[in-house]
Amino acid sequence: QLPFLDTGYFFYHNGIAKARRRRSLQHKLHLEKDSRVRKAVQQEGFSRRKRGYRDINDIDINMNDPLFTKQWYLINTGQADGTPGLDLNVAEAWELGYTGKGVTIGIMDDGIDYLHPDLASNYNAKASYDFSSNDPYPYPRYTDDWFNSHGTRCAGEVSAAANNNICGVGVAYNSKVAGIRMLDQPFMTDIIEASSISHMPQVIDIYSASWGPTDNGKTVDGPRELTLQAMADGVNKGRGGKGSIYVWASGDGGSYDDCNCDGYASSMWTISINSAINDGRTALYDESCSSTLASTFSNGRKRNPEAGVATTDLYGNCTLRHSGTSAAAPEAAGVFALALEA
């Protein structure tokens, strides 16, 4: 049974390895003939892309040296030729004792390296799930090119532990992070998106999504029927009736695209985030649209490797290379976590 539909059910055919509309048609027709069935829908696959995967030059990182001084978006002292003072202004919140304690952020992505020593202490296993593989262990699938590091990097921005001499510090470094793996299968489906967005809405306070339709300037796409219903249900009923908070990366198509064409970023149910670089200029890949509600920070104009976002990486590593609006959205989620605690 689907958690966001009182009378909805999802059937999975183990005998069909891939989505085959013709092979499934007879089952759909059989269901439609039943007088108890109001509507039967065959789930179709569609494309969803990770955002912000823009390389910055490789540099050597000493794992014994914390990256906090390189996290200019937390405290900008002019690192990488940035403008001093231009940052998220979270230091004052920390000094007041607000660090995200008691708040859980769900990272909807390609998984989280929950064994990472900078994430393990803040990982909420009970609130995590793998919808790509249908199990409770949302660990990223191994690839030679580390393509599936996206979710781990986003998680570190929000909830990396403080004062442990490992990598950097999360915006809300005492918050809990849940891994919702849903972005690593051959195709996306409405049921996977809806299940992810509606996963444990009374435990997860904030959902962070750094993905969406292809940013190619010609794709107009957005959430399907079940996902829209799950979003509306979360906003109206989640978080003890206060409403689930959905944070979305606005997109990296630049002047060739428009986030009004992205039904997730432009949704009335989401908070759309774009990015500025460390001197205040708009990132080159930012898309313009009226639905964008705020900007946080990422790289986007500079070749300096230290102008990127420092965070956790796969297999216990750290990186300075996280970027794009993919990096901006989790920062906003962290700021919202501080606000919820306050």
As annotated, the active-site residues are: 109, 150, 326
For residue 146, give every residue at least 6 positions away whose Cβ sits within 8 Å of its Cβ, in sequence order, or none.
313, 314
Q: With helix as H, strand as E and coil as C, how does 7-39 read?
A: CCCCCCCCCCCCCCHHHHHHHHHHHHHCCCCCC
110 secondary structure, DSSP code: S
For 305, the token pair is 């490797």
Name the residue with tokens 């390189």.
70
61 secondary structure, DSSP code: -
d(CA 185, CA 168): 30
Which segments of the chain does DSSP mark as H helices, in order?
21-33, 91-95, 150-159, 190-197, 225-237, 324-341
For 309, the token pair is 């976002």
d(CA 147, CA 151): 10
Which segments of 34-149 does DSSP mark as H helices, in order?
91-95
For residue 167, give every residue at least 6 positions away whose Cβ sits within 8 Å of its Cβ, in sequence order, or none.
66, 67, 118, 156, 160, 310, 311, 312, 313, 318
d(CA 259, CA 150): 21
d(CA 223, CA 158): 25
d(CA 200, CA 237): 11
d(CA 223, CA 201): 18
d(CA 210, CA 160): 18
For 223, the token pair is 């959430």
